[in-house]
Amino acid sequence: MLATLLAAISASSLPLLASAQTAASQAYTPVAGACPEGFTLVRGTGQPGSQTLSPQEVAYINGRKTNVIPDAWKTYLSNIQAVQSTNASLPSYVASILSGESNRYPNLGIACSGGGWRAAMFGGGVLNVLDGRNATSVSVGTGGLLQAAQYLTGLSGGSNLVGSLAQANFPTIQELTLGPGTNTTTDEWGGWLAPINQQDPYTNATQNAEYIQELIEEMRGKYEAGFAVSYNDVTARDNGRHFVNGTTAANFFDTTLVHGAGYTWSGVANVSTFANYSQPFPILVATLLSPNGNFSTVIPDSSFIIPTSNPIMELNVYELGSYDPNLAAFTPMQYLGTTNNSVCYTNYDNTGLIIGASGDWNTIYNTSESTYATSEAYPITSALNATLPQAGIVLDAALFRNPFYGSIMNGTFIDRNETIIMMSDGGSDGEAVPIQPLMVKARGLDTIFAIDSNQDWPNEYWSAGGSLVNMQNRINSFFPTAYTMPPVPTNISEFIAQNLSTHPTFFGCDSTTEAPLIIYLANGGPPRDGATPLTNVAPNNVTNDQLQGFLDQTFTIALQGLPANASATSDSEWPACLACAIVDRARNATGTERSGVCSSCFERYCWNGSTVGLATTTTKSGAVSVQWSVSALIASLLAAAAMMIF
Ligand SMILES: *[C@@H]1O[C@H](CO)[C@@H](O)[C@H](O)[C@H]1NC(C)=O
Ligand SMILES: *[C@@H]1O[C@H](CO)[C@@H](O)[C@H](O)[C@H]1NC(C)=O
Ligand SMILES: *[C@@H]1O[C@H](CO)[C@@H](O)[C@H](O)[C@H]1NC(C)=O
Ligand SMILES: *[C@@H]1O[C@H](CO)[C@@H](O)[C@H](O)[C@H]1NC(C)=O
Ligand SMILES: *[C@@H]1O[C@H](CO)[C@@H](O)[C@H](O)[C@H]1NC(C)=O
Ligand SMILES: *[C@@H]1O[C@H](CO)[C@@H](O)[C@H](O)[C@H]1NC(C)=O
Ligand SMILES: *[C@@H]1O[C@H](CO)[C@@H](O)[C@H](O)[C@H]1NC(C)=O
Ligand SMILES: *[C@@H]1O[C@H](CO)[C@@H](O)[C@H](O)[C@H]1NC(C)=O
Ligand SMILES: *[C@@H]1O[C@H](CO)[C@@H](O)[C@H](O)[C@H]1NC(C)=O
Ligand SMILES: *[C@@H]1O[C@H](CO)[C@@H](O)[C@H](O)[C@H]1NC(C)=O
Ligand SMILES: *[C@@H]1O[C@H](CO)[C@@H](O)[C@H](O)[C@H]1NC(C)=O
Ligand SMILES: CC(=O)N[C@H]1CO[C@H](CO)[C@@H](O)[C@@H]1O
């Protein structure tokens, strides 16, 4: 594939188009204007203890807490009570808390990990289980949690999920993934179009090269306006067709359409479910790829390239920056591209570009000339540089003009003297589950539902908790006062030996109430019902039937819980145990002792430092690695990098 693509490009069988810009190119170009009155380029967050959130985020969360969350908890309560009436009944404090009687609601955040299409689909399947619009989820007593959450974070494949969901106006997972099932106009949501391969949408290599060339042409306006463009702009234009409004299967190849150009991440604030606070506040996560980083803190694994001490970057619809103390600053998302207080750019924060920054995994190949030259990124960066030549920049990272240049932070930000900041896949520092924004103290969350479908089980595409292990090490080593994380195992082997990713596990049941309780649900093994495993894969594209099968099996996995009997396929108490975990910090805060079914649930589901309550045996049979289309190149890279993330 590589050789053909390169040959096709270098043979110049493709006319280098004259610099007339396509409609998409014009729609993608940042726009200069005067800065609004009172514009502030950089907002210092202050350090933990005296940290502030943006006024817009505070207003959003207050609006949500006032107008949406109380009813959402009541609905969830009635869902779980309907199931529980004939089974183990929940202690009365659950109803007191969820009904609002206790005056202390749970503060919930949900995190969707990286892991490519697998993670987008697995995360979607789990969100379906939590979604009060899915009748099955309502009937089993888990539906409604998504509606009650304050925050929803995504990273890489998880950002494809969270980003597309937020901008499409928070449709159901069925409609998000498979499309509305009716013809839409070109500014509406058309579905993920998962059967169409990203980058290689055709089976003909020449046509694929032409497709890439078309995407490159779509960034000409941005380039001519003086902005650096990179691989992530190619991704942005491709993401525009898959994860942003404006494309359907029928018009995917129509070159007259703008395919998501012109839609901005800050513009999500204008979709109706956001305007009325009906969505959990969406946050996408990337990592800072710095030429100045302390590379001795890179996790020693060939696939990790980013020092864990580098800031973890957060891209929410209002701001871009980090609460990590070594940056502790944000810039307004709507004016990204701006570097002073007089000329303000808008339209730089293209939705596909922002989603792409969270998942730009190409930088992991940029470890040596030879690795880079044989990587999947190379033909694309070569074609990009041949068409829109640029010297002195890293072409395979996500590039942004640096708003933090000469930063107010008195010299702690490692890229304070760079004019461009680079970002790479949120998982390329080893932390693919985006829990960092949910542990920011100013956000005050007490419960995190962490969905992990990253591939860190040796030689499999299952998850084995490495992201939590690495996050714990990062915090202990660099940010011990900024974040409080409950204890988790110190390595993946321990995670695997104790089966912590093969069923839901609660972390932090009895740690200080300052640390959030983590409900960890991973893609850690085959479903217990004995069905052929469908989720141990790393596909680049799937048919709609495969997508539906994957979602349905994820549904089973997310609902099976931890059976009291190792041979049982599911735990009928799991929805109740989940409710117990959701309210537990609020229970503690109201001075109530844990009791009833919640006590036995916690004995079973809590990690107590060495094990969970019940030893289970899980066989790792039925691995179906590379079952679907994975290019030979990717397959060989996967074999080389057991813990690669994207
Ligand atoms: C969508 O539009 C096409 C072309 O106009 C038409 O053939 C098709 O029946 C329409 N599909 C639906 C579901 O309306
Ligand atoms: C995307 O389309 C949906 C309808 O399918 C609409 O509700 C939503 O507002 C659109 N999003 C944006 C950013 O315009
Ligand atoms: C591939 O596409 C090119 C350009 O459209 C065309 O000339 C060529 O015949 C196609 N090759 C095959 C095998 O179909
Ligand atoms: C939201 O819509 C209003 C009215 O059309 C517009 O003025 C504003 O710029 C939009 N906000 C964003 C962030 O795009
Ligand atoms: C919020 O807006 C959406 C979309 O317009 C609508 O379906 C929903 O009922 C609204 N919710 C509230 C609480 O007003
Ligand atoms: C891109 O092209 C320029 C010349 O226009 C060259 O200086 C630079 O090294 C090229 N960059 C890469 C990464 O190949
Ligand atoms: C930077 O240092 C100055 C002088 O020590 C101090 O007044 C200021 O608060 C510091 N700014 C930040 C953002 O830490
Ligand atoms: C930026 O600062 C770092 C650390 O102080 C230094 O190593 C690097 O050379 C500087 N880079 C530039 C472009 O000035
Ligand atoms: C994925 O895309 C490739 C290349 O376009 C195609 O050959 C293959 O059939 C697709 N696979 C599925 C499952 O749709
Ligand atoms: C609920 O989720 C299941 C499992 O993926 C799915 O089959 C079903 O269509 C969903 N129902 C709704 C109403 O979205
Ligand atoms: C609340 O949690 C703290 C810290 O784990 C613990 O010391 C205290 O006993 C708990 N209170 C109740 C009522 O459970
Ligand atoms: C209403 C309800 O969920 N009932 C369940 C009670 O538990 C048994 C198994 O113990 C299930 O079969 C019922 O569906």
What span, in angstroms and rounded, lies between the C-alpha atoms of 20 and 177?
35
Which of 14, 203, 207, when mutated, tests ligand 3's pocket best, judged by the most ligand atoms within 8 Å of its CB?
207
Look at residue 9 in the predicted model and tell me its pLDDT: 41
Q: DSSP readout, 94-108?
A: HHHHHHTTTS----E
List phi, psi (to 5°) of 407: -55, 150
**Highest mean predicted confidence (pLDDT) among 3-7, 85-89, 386-390:** 386-390
| CA atoms within 13 A of residue 201's CA, in its CB half-sphere | 19
List phi, psi (to 5°) of 400: -135, 140
Query: Cα(598) to centroid of ligand 11, in Å?
Result: 15
Whether residue 409 is predicted with pLDDT greater than 70 in this model: the reply is no
Ligand 12: lining residues by beta carbon, under 6 Å: 83, 86-87, 572
* Residue type for position 532: T
Look at residue 608 in the predicted model and tell me its pLDDT: 86
Whether residue 310 is predicted with pLDDT greater than 90 in this model: the reply is yes
Q: What is the mean pLDDT of residues 277-295?
A: 96
Look at residue 69 in the predicted model and tell me its pLDDT: 98
Q: Locate 294 and state its tokens.
A: 């302390």
Nearest-CA residue for ligand 7 atom 14 is 409
Three-class DSSP category at 585: helix
Q: How confident is the model at residue 369 (pLDDT cuts 50, 70, 90)?
A: confident
- pLDDT tens digit string along 216-249? 999 999 999 999 999 999 999 999 999 999 999 9
- pLDDT tens digit string along 466-499? 999 999 999 999 999 999 999 999 999 999 999 9
Q: What is the mean pLDDT of residues 68-74?
A: 98
> How many Cβ atoms are within 10 Å of 636's Cβ, its own excluded?
12
Q: How confident is the model at residue 618 (pLDDT cuts 50, 70, 90)?
A: very low
Whether residue 622 is predicted with pLDDT greater than 60 in this model: the reply is no
What span, in angstroms and rounded, lies between the C-alpha atoms of 365 and 374?
9
Q: What is the mean pLDDT of residues 276-282?
A: 98
Q: DSSP readout, 459-521?
A: TSSS--SHHHHHHHHHHHHH-TTT-------SSHHHHHHTTTTSS-EEE-TTS-TTSPEEEEE
- pLDDT tens digit string along 431-465? 999 999 999 999 999 999 999 999 999 999 999 99
Ligand 6: lining residues by beta carbon, under 6 Å: 385, 389-391, 395
Q: Which of 549, 573, 555 is nearest to 563 (CA)?
A: 573
Closest ligand to the CA of 418: 8
**Distance, first Cα to last Cα, the chain:** 20
Whether residue 597 is predicted with pLDDT greater than 60 in this model: the reply is yes
Which of 276, 277, 279, when mutated, tests ligand 5's pocket best, judged by the most ligand atoms within 8 Å of its CB?
276
| Least confident span in 164-173, 398-407, 432-441, 631-640 | 631-640
Domains observed in the chain = 41-613+623-645 (3.40.1090.10)
Enumerate residues 6+ apart whose C-beta is below 8 A from 93: 102, 583, 587, 590, 592, 595
Q: How confident is the model at residue 85 (pLDDT cuts 50, 70, 90)?
A: low
- pLDDT tens digit string along 514-559? 899 999 999 999 999 999 999 999 999 999 999 999 999 999 999 9
46 C-beta closer than 6 A to ligand 7: no
Q: How confident is the model at residue 342 (pLDDT cuts 50, 70, 90)?
A: very high
Look at residue 627 in the predicted model and tell me its pLDDT: 24
Assess contact for 557 and 622: CB atoms under 8 A.
Answer: no
Look at residue 403 in the predicted model and tell me its pLDDT: 96
Angle value at C-alpha 641, between 351 and 232, nearest 5 degrees: 20
Residue with tokens 């049941």: 509
Assess contact for 577 and 605: CB atoms under 8 A.
Answer: yes
What span, in angstroms and rounded, lies between the C-alpha atoms of 186 and 259?
8
> How many Cβ atoms are within 10 Å of 574's Cβ, its own excluded?
23
Look at residue 615 in the predicted model and tell me its pLDDT: 35
302 C-beta closer than 6 A to ligand 8: no
Q: How confident is the model at residue 2 (pLDDT cuts 50, 70, 90)?
A: very low
Whole-angstrom CA distances from 606 to 111, 438, 460, 488, 558 are: 19, 20, 26, 11, 17
Q: DSSP readout, 215-276?
A: HHHTTHHHHHTT----HHHHHHHHHHHHTSSS--TTTTT-TTS-TTTT-BSGGGGGSHHHHT
Whether residue 410 is predicted with pLDDT greater than 70 in this model: the reply is no
